[in-house]
């Protein structure tokens, strides 16, 4: 994948492409953004850029180095994932530090892709800071995290930070069509819609069929009229397992509340579940609920803490 194929985030991508053209990429980059915003894809492109051997625009995407990078087998690209045990603890960071001083095997540069950097404990971050303070020549560090603020200020100030936002529903649809040329177009468009444009969540939906998300949204809805707040909190807490999951559940909840509202206004073409659920709340409450769910769905597009969000969601849904 080359930079021009990256969908969405035009401003950031333009800035990076200009930096690449002028060969002015810094030695440490931190990419922040929620799951599905394209952090890993961008990190891969940056790694490819650093090892590409083309004379003209880099990464070219076709030279042997680019192809190896694409396949994940380039010897000068090292990946560490903080979500996997031991890959970004203090010992691992120390070995990254020593490895950074080794000359590249094949190309001009060595690249260290470090994902889930929010999982790095302060001691590991401090160990990493040492190499950032005196960076060796010909090394590129690409860090990714949901939020840059999860890293120490001393690290942030020594990296260039790029913030990514999930693409729009239309942009996501374009990406999905490229990724899954054999899949039915209407299925892809539905997945893009139901994931609110979040590509990671859309892929998961395509893989799982979205049954669990649908069930969770229905369970949340059923718990709203119940007299105990605990029942609703138990259901809203389920969305904390994963951001992509939370986004899709909220999309489903939004659709469901819209359909219930339609049912309460006498519409005939609604699903049996919406018809059933619409009877559990008054029309006035359904109306208020619809707007509240819409707002809650939009809040999720920002980088909110899921634990706080699920509690907040419970409290706003209780009000209606
Ligand atoms: Zn190349």
End of a domain among 125, 144, 163? 163
End of a domain among 163, 185, 220? 163
Domain residues for 229?
Answer: 210-319
Residue 189 lies in a domain: no
From the CA of 269, how far away is ligand 1's center (Å)?
A: 54
Residue 274 lies in a domain: yes
149, 120 in Cβ contact below 8 A?
no
From the CA of 165, how far away is ligand 1's center (Å)?
A: 27
From the CA of 60, how far away is ligand 1's center (Å)?
A: 4
The token duo for 60 is 């070219």
Residue 201 lies in a domain: no
The neighbourhood of ligand 1, an ion, using CB within 5 A, equals: 52, 54, 59-60, 63, 66
The token duo for 56 is 């003209």
The pairing of strands 110-115 and 139-145 is parallel
In terms of domains, do 128 and 241 share one? no
Residue 24 lies in a domain: yes
- Indicate which CATH number applies to the domain containing 48: 3.40.50.300
From the CA of 234, how far away is ligand 1's center (Å)?
A: 51
In terms of domains, do 116 and 15 share one? yes
Share of the chain above pLDDT 90, in %: 65
Residue 290 lies in a domain: yes
- At residue 157, the pLDDT reads 96
236-245 confidence digits (pLDDT tens):
999 998 888 8
84-135 confidence digits (pLDDT tens):
999 999 999 999 999 999 999 998 899 999 999 999 999 999 999 999 998 8
Report how far residue 124's alpha carbon sits from residue 152's, in angstroms, rounded to the nearest whole number: 11
Sign of the Cα torsion 231, 234, 237, 238 reads negative
In terms of domains, do 219 and 157 share one? no
* Backbone dihedral angles phi then psi of residue 145, each to the nearest 5 degrees: -155, 155
Residue-wise DSSP of 86-114 = TSSSHHHHHHHHHHHTSPPSSSS-EEEEE
What does pLDDT average to over the chain? 91
- At residue 320, the pLDDT reads 65
- At residue 223, the pLDDT reads 94
From the CA of 18, how far away is ligand 1's center (Å)?
A: 17
In terms of domains, do 141 and 231 share one? no
The token duo for 135 is 């960076």
Sign of the Cα torsion 257, 262, 266, 270 reads negative
Preceding omega of 225 cis (within 30 degrees of 0)? no
Residue 180 lies in a domain: no
In terms of domains, do 226 and 148 share one? no
From the CA of 66, how far away is ligand 1's center (Å)?
A: 4
From the CA of 50, how far away is ligand 1's center (Å)?
A: 9
From the CA of 56, how far away is ligand 1's center (Å)?
A: 9
* Backbone dihedral angles phi then psi of residue 199, each to the nearest 5 degrees: -65, -40
How many whole angstroms from its chain centre is CA 229? 31
In terms of domains, do 38 and 133 share one? yes
In terms of domains, do 140 and 228 share one? no
Report how far residue 280's alpha carbon sits from residue 77's, in angstroms, rounded to the nearest whole number: 57
165-177 confidence digits (pLDDT tens):
888 889 889 888 9
Residue 125 lies in a domain: yes
Residue 38 lies in a domain: yes
In terms of domains, do 214 and 280 share one? yes
Number of domains forming the structure of the chain: 2
Sign of the Cα torsion 222, 223, 224, 225 reads positive
In terms of domains, do 148 and 47 share one? yes
End of a domain among 148, 163, 178? 163
Residue-wise DSSP of 214-282 = HHHHHHHHHHTTSS-HHHHHHHHHGGGG-HHHHHHHHHHHHHHHHHHHHHHTT-SS--HHHHHHHTTS-
- Indicate which CATH number applies to the domain containing 285: 1.20.272.10
Report the pLDDT averaged over residues 152-173.
92
């Amino acid at each position: 994948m080359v930079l021009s194929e990256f969908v969405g985030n035009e401003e950031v991508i333009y800035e990076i492409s200009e930096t690449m053209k002028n060969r002015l990429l810094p030695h440490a980059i931190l990419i922040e953004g929620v799951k599905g915003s394209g952090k890993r894809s961008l990190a891969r492109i940056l790694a490819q850029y650093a090892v590409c051997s083309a004379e003209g625009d880099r990464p070219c995407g076709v030279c042997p180095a680019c192809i190896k990078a694409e396949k994940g087998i380039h010897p000068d690209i090292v990946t560490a994932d903080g979500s996997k045990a031991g890959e970004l603890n203090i010992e691992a960071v120390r070995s990254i530090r020593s490895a950074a001083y080794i000359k590249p095997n094949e190309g001009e540069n060595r690249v260290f892709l470090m994902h889930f950097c929010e999982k790095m404990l302060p001691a590991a971050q401090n160990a990493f800071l040492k190499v950032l303070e005196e960076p060796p020549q010909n090394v590129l560090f690409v860090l990714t995290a949901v939020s840059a603020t999860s890293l120490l200020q001393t690290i942030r100030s020594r990296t260039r930070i790029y913030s990514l936002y999930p693409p729009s529903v239309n942009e996501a649809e374009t990406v999905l069509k490229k990724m899954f040329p054999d899949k039915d177009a209407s299925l892809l468009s539905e997945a893009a819609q139901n994931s609110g444009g979040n590509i990671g969540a859309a892929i998961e939906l395509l893989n799982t069929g979205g049954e669990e998300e649908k069930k969770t949204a229905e369970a949340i809805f059923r718990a709203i009229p119940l007299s105990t707040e605990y029942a609703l909190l138990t259901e809203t807490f389920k969305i904390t397992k994963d951001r992509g999951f939370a986004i899709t559940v909220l999309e489903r909840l939004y659709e469901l509340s819209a359909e219930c509202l339609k049912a309460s206004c006498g519409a005939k073409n609604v699903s049996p579940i919406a018809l059933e659920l619409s009877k559990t709340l008054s029309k006035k409450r359904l109306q208020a609920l619809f707007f509240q769910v819409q707002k809650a769905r939009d809040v999720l597009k920002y980088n909110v803490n899921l634990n706080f969000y699920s509690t907040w969601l419970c409290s706003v849904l209780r009000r209606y």
